[in-house]
Amino acid sequence: MNDPHLNLDHFWMPFTANRQFRGKPRMLVSAKDMHYTSDDGRQVVDGCAGLWCVNAGHNREEILSAIKAQLDTLDFAPTFQMGHPMAFKAAEKVAELAPAGMSKVFFANSGSESVDSALKIALAYHRARGEGTRTKFIGRERGYHGVGFGGISVGGIPLNRKVFGGQLLPGVDHLPHTHNLREAAFSRGQPKWGSHLAEDLERLVALHDPSNIAAVIVEPVAGSTGVLPPPVGYLETLRAICDKHGILLIFDEVISGFGRLGTPFAAQYFNVTPDLICCAKGITNATIPMGAVIAKDFIYDALMNGPEGLIELFHGYTYSGHPVAAAAAVATLDLYRETGLFEASRPMHAAIADAAHGMRELPNVIDVRNIGLIAAIELKSREGKPGARAYEAMVKCFERGVLVRITGDTIALSPPLIVGQSHLDEIFDTLGDVLRTID
């Protein structure tokens, strides 16, 4: 770290080994397009779009100027019983990108809040229709749905749940995850094996009875648990079972939304339409925090009953549709559309897949997975030290000017959608060199 006067004693860092970090801090001080600049003046190519969120690359002028203009005009206005134009414009832009029939947008400030909002909307929907017994949720092992109590309950990451109490939200059950090295290692794109795992939903439905189940929530592509593309036919089976039993299907598209798979949402990529979509991150290109739930019209309509003067949904955040976040969203979504960014990035899907699968013979590599503009390289864990090998790779890559993201012993790549072949070459050449040096 360059600045000896910077006091590191007070910022309690999220999802970070705080004491280890303080021993050897890694500081980023500015960014442009595909690169960060570190505090010692090095260019670091961004292999993971920040945290899967800077989809159009860093510090895009069009977005920054819209944010500055909004700050000069209206810093804040309430959206409880009041309105301001930018929130309505942002909602319209989000709805334009969503699958047909999903035109209602509820704003939150993060992915975690959008997940909690979606779960609550599902409960309110069933109750409004006189099916208030539908209160259970089905999540999935290895699912990540943020860190609210709702999200960690339906999520399936043991360490995110362990120290926060055994029960969490009551009435939650989990589908099995779809990761299987024996059956599907080194699959390119969607694994052919595993769609039968979606049929487990029938077993859970029979166990709990449909009349008690509100919603199923999954990431169409699990991201932070190591990049797990859905097996061929898997999402279709979930959709069919939910339809059969009147259960809402929620796609958590916090990572897969806004072009990560070359389409606005994974729903369009897989041609499976959920009832609710959670999104965040790329909605503002990560410039200003924002999350959203996109709802099918029938869900919204079911809640628009009762006396007109009555608040229909007792839920919302002070900053739902915050003017500056809304301005950032409008500018971001305009930028995506005007530059045709999602379509333009599609040729890089094969390029990242080729580069990633080119790593399969390197030491300790036990799997390579990819879909859209996402790739993952899973390393064999060191005996008794899960995560140590990938952590070492991440640190060494950073020292050589490449930012990668790790989860357990999986290295995840999800560059901004403006990535070019030369960036991919730099990322994968560096990663390859690093993997050859790690025992």
Residues that bind ligand PXG (CB under 6 A): 51-52, 110-112, 115, 144-146, 219, 223-224, 252, 254-255, 280, 405, 407
How far apart are CB 69 and ligand PXG at their closest, in Å?
A: 25
Of residues 268, 278, 293, 325, the one with CA closest to residue 74:
325
How far apart are CB 286 and ligand PXG at their closest, in Å?
A: 9
Choose between 84 and 287: whose C-beta lies nearer to ligand PXG. Answer: 287
Choose between 54 and 115: whose C-beta lies nearer to ligand PXG. Answer: 115
How far apart are CB 120 and ligand PXG at their closest, in Å?
A: 15
How far apart are CB 139 and ligand PXG at their closest, in Å?
A: 11
How far apart are CB 178 and ligand PXG at their closest, in Å?
A: 15
Choose between 113 and 173: whose C-beta lies nearer to ligand PXG. Answer: 113
How far apart are CB 235 and ligand PXG at their closest, in Å?
A: 15
Choose between 226 and 231: whose C-beta lies nearer to ligand PXG. Answer: 226
Choose between 219 and 409: whose C-beta lies nearer to ligand PXG. Answer: 219
How far apart are CB 219 and ligand PXG at their closest, in Å?
A: 5
Choose between 108 and 198: whose C-beta lies nearer to ligand PXG. Answer: 108
Over the chain, what HEC string results?
CCCCCCCCCCCCCCCCCHHHHHHCCCCEEEEEECEEEECCCCEEEECCHHHHCCCCCECCHHHHHHHHHHHHHCCCCCCCCCCCHHHHHHHHHHHHHCCCCCCEEEEECCHHHHHHHHHHHHHHHHHHCCCCCCCEEEEECCCCCCCCHHHHHHCCCHHHHHHHCCCCCCCEEEECCCCCHHHHCCCCCCCCCCHHHHHHHHHHHHHHCHHHEEEEEECCCECCCCCECCCCCHHHHHHHHHHHHCCEEEEECCCCCCCCCCCCCHHHHHCCCCCEEEECHHHHCCCCCCEEEEECHHHHHHHCCCCCCCCCCCCCCCCCCCHHHHHHHHHHHHHHHHHCHHHHCCHHHHHHHHHHHCCCCCCCEEEEEEECCEEEEEECCECCECCHHHHHHHHHHHHCCEECEEECCEEEECCCCCCCHHHHHHHHHHHHHHHHHCC
Choose between 205 and 253: whose C-beta lies nearer to ligand PXG. Answer: 253
Choose between 128 and 367: whose C-beta lies nearer to ligand PXG. Answer: 367
Report the interhelical angle of 323-339 vs 85-97 (nearest 10°). Answer: 40
- The residue with its CB nearest to ligand PXG is 111
How far apart are CB 143 and ligand PXG at their closest, in Å?
A: 8
Choose between 128 and 227: whose C-beta lies nearer to ligand PXG. Answer: 227
Choose between 205 and 370: whose C-beta lies nearer to ligand PXG. Answer: 370
How far apart are CB 207 and ligand PXG at their closest, in Å?
A: 26
Amino acid at 226: G
For residue 309 the two structure tokens come to 């003067």
Residue 255 and residue 414: Cα distance in Å, rounded? 10
How far apart are CB 243 and ligand PXG at their closest, in Å?
A: 23
